[in-house]
Amino acid sequence: MPKILNPADASAEGLNESAPDSTAPAGMVFYHASEGKPLATPWQVALIRSQLLARAALPEGMILDCACGSGIQLAAHASVLQRPAIGVELDPRRAQASAMNLHTIASQRNELDAERMLTTRVVVGDGRDGAGILSALKEGLGLEELPKIALLHLDPARPRNSRTHGLDEMEPRLDEVFAGWAPYLKEGRTGPALLLDLSPRLTHEQRLEVEAFVDLSWPGLLRTWVWTSRGRGRVDRLALWLGSAAEEGVARRFVRVPPTLGTEPTLVAGGRRLVNGSGHPVQVNRPPRRGERISILDAALVESGLAEDWLKRVTKSEKIGWSVVEGRRPQIHHDHPLRLEDPADRLLVQATGRVVALARMALSVTHVDRLVEVLLEHDIRSLTVRATLPPEVQPKVQGAIDRQLARRSGRRDAFLVQQPGDEMLLICIAE
Ligand SMILES: C[S@@+](CC[C@H](N)C(=O)[O-])C[C@H]1O[C@@H](n2cnc3c(N)ncnc32)[C@H](O)[C@@H]1O
């Protein structure tokens, strides 16, 4: 019989890994165990995700996280959705940390006595064993029937040194969890609801493998892939929302977590289903022109396959030329300024501007004098190098430009890019 913990009367005794979460309101401290902190979902990310989930019509029942770790995501779901929660965790100390964190969130919201807490529990056990966990809970809670599961959330552990991020390395494995819980998931209008929190490093083929696993248990179940980024062009989370958790007509969603807590995230939705391709733009080689616009977009947005959808929102359906489609600085060429009045859209652009000069010269410290002459002709007071240079050269070149421009009196801010395989420097006035 697995051990069952009641978060309402959880204790922190024996837990010695606690840490404030830098994305949570000041003073909020979470417990972790067995070095669980790096595995835990940051509070802001967890909260945004639960708020988006609140838009879905979930079936009746409880929220289940069958590998709940420190329980941060589970606590966010339970408090935002106002549902009872079940966490399952193999590591007894982490299970205790989960119970404590569920307690902290409920107490912070004055909800320790709320109805949802009466049946909220953390089970120390194997998250693949749906039958065993549910019958233990039925007995432990004195219920007449097995608890109903409204949503299955799964954020499996991955080996820290994994190179392949293969599906067979996930602990617990998706197929085993599906097999163990499929009979117990309640159905909503579009089937059962599942949220799989996966490695952002899964390849396109591995993502399709995940879909194939899903289809084995629930053929054709509705699906929305969700890319989440906390900035710097990195995809921090890749998740698959399924069935009643998925959004009809939305194959992909990109979520840019805002820099400050409490601000709305930037959302882009649409895209093609993954079976129809990765959705990545196609690179074209066309000579750069003075007067055209160049923008460097958020690399995580491009990785999600939703850049073209977003561009429809911020351009007047103009023709976009992709000169760089991979790496940290995806680059487009276009004729009119992007419409970035909404600060949420501005977050998805690293730089945007109009080309004022094309300079054929090598980008090195020895050529900075010549480059600065060109910059002064265009009344430029600052120039950010956004071309790829060796890491040891980049700060030297940028420093030399900054020092020379500081002694002059230009008025405009600019940036510099290059096209792949071409030495030509494209100098753009920032817009
Ligand atoms: C990535 S962590 C989950 C973190 C969680 N989402 C949070 O917000 O804190 C995955 C957890 O799965 C647990 N785990 C691995 N295999 C399991 C199994 N078969 N049953 C239950 N838990 C398991 C690991 O101990 C680990 O704590």
Taking only the tens place, the pLDDT of each residue in 365-392 is 999 999 999 999 999 999 999 999 999 9
Any domain includes 288 = no
pLDDT of residue 316: 84
User: Which range, of 8-12, 92-96, 330-334, averages the lowest pLDDT?
Assistant: 8-12
Q: Which of 5, 21, 32, 68 to mutate to test the pocket of ligand 1 (most atoms within 8 A of CB)?
A: 68
Contacts of 37 (CB under 8 A, 6+ apart): 17, 19, 70
Dihedral over Cα of 136, 142, 145, 149: its sign: negative
- How confident is residue 220, by pLDDT bands cut at 50, 70 and 90? very high
Of 334, 77, 365, which is closest to residue 195 (Cα–Cα)? 77
Whether 248 and 348 map to the same domain: the answer is: no
Contacts of 182 (CB under 8 A, 6+ apart): 130, 192, 217, 218
Whether 72 and 211 map to the same domain: the answer is: yes
pLDDT of residue 35: 85
Whether 108 and 204 map to the same domain: the answer is: yes
Whether 78 and 165 map to the same domain: the answer is: yes
Q: Which amino acid is located at 348 in the chain? A: L
Q: Which residues line ligand 1 (CB under 6 A)?
A: 36, 39-41, 67-73, 88-91, 94, 126-128, 155-157, 171-172
Whether 249 and 299 map to the same domain: the answer is: no
Q: Three-state DSSP class for 47? A: helix
Q: Does residue 4 contact residue 100 with C-beta atoms inside 8 Å?
A: no
Q: Does residue 278 contact residue 301 with C-beta atoms inside 8 Å?
A: no
Determine the atom of ligand 1 nearest the C-alpha atom of 176. 19
Separation between Cα atoms, residue 290 and residue 424, nearest integer Å = 12
Whether 259 and 315 map to the same domain: the answer is: no
Can you read off the two tokens belonging to residue 196? Answer: 């799989």
pLDDT digits (tens, 9 = 90+) for 124-146: 999 999 999 999 999 999 999 99
Can you read off the two tokens belonging to residue 10? Answer: 């959880």
Q: Does residue 334 contact residue 291 with C-beta atoms inside 8 Å?
A: no
Domain that holds residue 394: 293-430
The number of folded domains in the chain is 2
CATH number of the domain within which 260 lies: 3.40.50.150
Torsion angle defined by CA atoms of residues 281, 282, 287 and 291, in that order, rounded to the nearest 10 degrees: -20
Whether 122 and 82 map to the same domain: the answer is: yes
Of 342, 42, 55, 339, which is closest to residue 197 (Cα–Cα)? 42
Whether 246 and 148 map to the same domain: the answer is: yes
pLDDT of residue 21: 83
pLDDT of residue 256: 97
Whether 307 and 366 map to the same domain: the answer is: yes
Whether 221 and 340 map to the same domain: the answer is: no
Cα(53) to ligand 1 centroid in Å equals 21
Cα(259) to ligand 1 centroid in Å equals 28
| 403-420 average pLDDT score | 93
Contacts of 35 (CB under 8 A, 6+ apart): 17
Whether 267 and 365 map to the same domain: the answer is: no
- Is pLDDT at 263 greater than 90 in this prediction? no
Give the residue from 271, 305, 337 where a domain finishes.
271
Any domain includes 278 = no
- Is pLDDT at 240 greater than 90 in this prediction? yes
CATH number of the domain within which 370 lies: 3.30.2130
Whether 57 and 123 map to the same domain: the answer is: yes
| Residue 337 burial (CB count, 10 A) | 14
- Is pLDDT at 182 greater than 90 in this prediction? yes
Any domain includes 277 = no
- How confident is residue 181, by pLDDT bands cut at 50, 70 and 90? very high
pLDDT digits (tens, 9 = 90+) for 419-431: 888 889 999 999 9
Mean pLDDT of the chain: 94
- Is pLDDT at 164 greater than 90 in this prediction? no
Cα(69) to ligand 1 centroid in Å equals 4
pLDDT of residue 420: 86
Q: Which of 15, 171, 181 to mutate to test the pocket of ligand 1 (most atoms within 8 A of CB)?
A: 171
